[in-house]
Amino acid sequence: MLQAIIIEDEKHSQATLNNLLNDYCTDIAVAGMASSVESAIDLIKKIEPDLVFLDIELHPGTGFDVIKAFDQINFEIIFTTAFEQYAIQAIKLSSLDYLLKPIAIDDLQQAVEKCKKKTNQTQYQQQMNLLLSELGQSNQEGRNICLATAEGIEFINEDDIVYCEANGSYTEFTFKDGHTLLVSKHLKEYENLLSPNQFMRVHNSFLINLREVQRLVKSEGGYIQMNNGSSINISPKKRDEFMERMKQRI
């Protein structure tokens, strides 16, 4: 049985989540609730929970202010929010869990199941540090990103990516040093996550790092030659945009 606390600034949201956990996650025991940054910090220190459901929008303050109060995060966190916003982008980059309100039962159960698996504490702290760094970063290029693979979690820099290729419901990353990583998310996910000034979807199957382009070859139907020697198909509909983007980089 995992001890959990709910941090929500609206009483009806507290009650709704508590009821969902009671009905559909019977191995979770809600040990307390808080509605502000200060009360949340006090409650976490008092109870030392296994799991915290943390609302992003707390007034005044945010759920991230709660995280910043702890040098070490010794509990799992599932973020909750009613809005698709900049913070969700940072959470996704860090491969952390979040739930959009109204919370779907299946999403809740999946997030809880993931939290029940033992987490590498050092790795989890790195994910939190990456999240806080991303939230405070004004320059959106050259960011770090967290990739969850079948073997574990890897922290990489966007600049090290040459291209990403769709592989069914997976995405394969190819890096400058030649190694690859297969990640269980669609290419569309990374099209939305990676820096738009640096990356471009040039084909249904390919998302490329524009800084790693060597040249555009117009023969044989047209393809892009990357610095690592790879040939990337380009959709005819994307050629004009690609050429314009490359001019902007000169």
pLDDT band at residue 118 under the 50/70/90 scheme = low
Structure tokens at 130: 């990456």
pLDDT for the residue 101: 92
Mean pLDDT for the stretch of residues 162-175: 96
Looking at the chain, which residues constitute the CATH 3.40.50.2300 domain(s)?
A: 2-135
Per-residue pLDDT band for 170 (boundaries 50, 70, 90) equals very high
- Name the residue with higher pLDDT: 150 or 16: 16
- Please, what CATH class does the domain formed by 2-135 belong to? alpha beta
State yes or no: pLDDT of 137 exceeds 90.
no
**Mean pLDDT value of segment 125-146:** 79
- Reply yes or no on whether the pLDDT at 138 is more than 70: no
Pick the CATH number of 156-249 from 2.40.50.1020, 3.40.640.10, 2.60.120.10, 1.10.3720.10: 2.40.50.1020
C-alpha triplet 149, 151, 157: angle, nearest 5°: 50
Residue whose C-alpha is closest to residue 200's, from 151, 244, 157: 244
Residue 189 confidence (pLDDT): 93
- Pick the residue with more confidence: 133 or 14? 14
Where in the sequence of the chain do the CATH 2.40.50.1020 domains occur? 156-249
- For residue 243, CA distances in Å to 106, 154, 171, 205 come to 44, 33, 25, 19
- Rounded to two decimals, the pTM is 0.76
Average pLDDT rounded to a whole number, residues 110-123: 85
Flag whether pLDDT at 140 surpasses 60.
Answer: no
- Tokens 């047209």 locate to 222
Average pLDDT of the chain? 91
